[in-house]
């Protein structure tokens, strides 16, 4: 058997570490018939039979581009493609009481409307006080029969991004949802306030996204495709304020900081996005009152103006389409209202 390099699949929307691993194997010419669950368990390091079986149940194991069941017999020269979701590290999570806005919950999934400032999972500089710590406390208090203490992540959104995200309650649900993210069949809509006006009403941004060579905390666009991974973002104007614009964004891929870095790439960084240059006055007048107005907006919303407004998926057990919509948070609503009032006042002055 010859094994090709393992390809990590970045399905992270906003955060940087991967949640899924994509493995491709070309079976050796001398391979004797063997069940694929046994074959994968024996040929992939640190993979349990249970994880392989969950991947099979989710339709995450393909042979020669066709989904197979766990009892499929591997044949010589078969090309096997499998997606595994990463298991959680329970030693990193201690239950902590953290406010959670739960908008839907059943035996398999929990949908949360995340507030600004809440990190999703432990990582560098954030070893406690995360969403997973809060879920561990919630599940402990409600005595829910979850397979681990805090659920299974299937995607993430940034610390300062608000809005909807889903967490699986068992590994089977995680594997099925992982397949939907891998296929880009998850419905996601974001609202963002960005600098500048647009000549068109809608459009598409394309350009590979990878780590910045100058700052490893940031991402960068590589339009020639020589670095990074393919990224496609569709945008649509919702409301124009002259110097800033409220847009809707639909993600076709899920790269780290995708909306933020794509917006900067086309010259329209998110309003008050310090990492990507949106925390300074980029459009407007030189009058001191305008600067004071922008400063007041930044104080009302001391974060980038991005909200995960819609989330849709197929339920991992029932097969029923699920759709959730979240209202804009108070800080973003307040800033938009200030811009509406500013635009009215400016129009009155000019007329």
Which residues sit opposite 220 in a β-bridge?
Answer: 210
* pLDDT tens per residue across span 146-179: 777 788 888 889 999 999 999 999 988 988 998 8
The domains located in the chain, with CATH, are 2-85 (3.10.290.10), 90-177 (3.30.2350.10), 188-310+321-350 (3.30.2350.10)
Percentage of the chain lying above the pLDDT 90 cut = 57
Mean pLDDT of the chain: 87
Q: What pLDDT score does 15 carry?
A: 39
- Residues 320-336: what's their mean pLDDT? 98
Q: Give the integer Cα–Cα distance in Å for 331 and 158.
A: 17
Half-sphere exposure of 258 (CA within 13 A, CB side): 31
How confident is residue 87, by pLDDT bands cut at 50, 70 and 90?
A: low
Q: What pLDDT score does 193 carry?
A: 98
Q: Give the integer Cα–Cα distance in Å for 31 and 1.
A: 7
How confident is residue 350, by pLDDT bands cut at 50, 70 and 90?
A: low
Q: Is the dihedral of CA 107, 111, 116, 122 positive or negative?
A: positive
Catalytic residue status for 295: no
Most confidently modeled range among 14-28, 120-134, 228-242: 228-242
pLDDT at 190 over 60: yes
Q: Give the integer Cα–Cα distance in Å for 315 and 317.
A: 6
- Residues 25-44: what's their mean pLDDT? 89
pLDDT at 58 over 80: no
Q: Give the integer Cα–Cα distance in Å for 67 and 81.
A: 9
Q: Give the integer Cα–Cα distance in Å for 42 and 289.
A: 69
pLDDT at 9 over 70: no
The set of residues, in sequence order, having a beta carbon less than 8 Å from that of 102 and lying 6+ positions away, is 110, 111, 112, 113, 138
Q: Give the integer Cα–Cα distance in Å for 132 and 158.
A: 14
Is 85 or 201 the better-scoring residue by pLDDT? 201
pTM beyond 0.75, yes or no: yes
Indicate the helix (H) or strand (E) that contains 26.
Answer: strand 20-26
77: left (phi over 0), alpha (psi -120 to 50) or beta: left
Most confidently modeled range among 47-51, 83-87, 328-332: 328-332
Q: Give the integer Cα–Cα distance in Å for 104 and 165.
A: 11
pLDDT at 14 over 60: no
Catalytic pick among 13, 158, 279, 331: 158
């Amino acid at each position: 058997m010859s094994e090709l390099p393992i390809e990590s699949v970045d399905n992270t929307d906003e955060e940087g570490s991967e949640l899924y691993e994509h493995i491709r194997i070309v079976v050796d010419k001398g391979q004797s018939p063997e069940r694929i669950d046994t074959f994968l368990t024996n040929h992939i390091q640190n993979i349990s039979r249970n994880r392989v079986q969950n991947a099979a149940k989710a339709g995450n194991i393909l042979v020669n581009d066709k989904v197979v069941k766990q009892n499929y017999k591997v044949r010589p020269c078969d090309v096997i493609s499998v997606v595994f979701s990463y298991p959680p590290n329970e030693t990193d999570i201690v239950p902590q009481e953290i406010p959670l806005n739960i908008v839907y919950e059943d035996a398999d999934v929990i949908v949360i409307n995340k507030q600004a400032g809440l990190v999703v999972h432990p990582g560098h500089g954030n070893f406690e006080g995360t969403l997973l710590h809060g879920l561990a406390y919630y599940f402990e208090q409600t005595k829910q029969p979850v397979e681990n203490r805090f659920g299974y992540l299937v995607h993430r959104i940034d610390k300062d991004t608000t809005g909807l995200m889903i967490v699986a309650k068992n590994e089977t649900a995680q594997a099925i949802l992982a397949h939907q993210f891998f296929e880009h069949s998850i419905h996601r809509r974001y609202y963002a306030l960005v600098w500048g006006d647009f000549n068109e009403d809608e459009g598409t941004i394309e350009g590979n996204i990878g780590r910045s060579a100058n700052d490893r905390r940031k991402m960068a666009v590589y339009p020639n495709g020589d670095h990074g991974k393919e990224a496609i973002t569709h945008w649509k104007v919702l409301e124009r304020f002259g110097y800033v614009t409220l847009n809707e964004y639909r993600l076709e891929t899920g790269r780290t900081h995708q909306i933020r870095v794509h917006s900067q790439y086309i010259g329209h960084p998110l309003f008050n996005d310090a990492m990507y240059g949106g925390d300074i006055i980029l459009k407007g007048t030189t009058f001191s009152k305008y600067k004071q107005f922008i400063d007041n907006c930044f104080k009302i919303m001391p974060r980038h103006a991005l909200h995960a407004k819609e989330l849709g998926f197929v339920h991992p057990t029932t097969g029923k389409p699920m759709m959730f919509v979240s209202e804009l948070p108070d800080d973003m609503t307040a800033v938009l209202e200030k811009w509406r009032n500013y635009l009215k006042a400016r129009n009155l002055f000019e007329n």
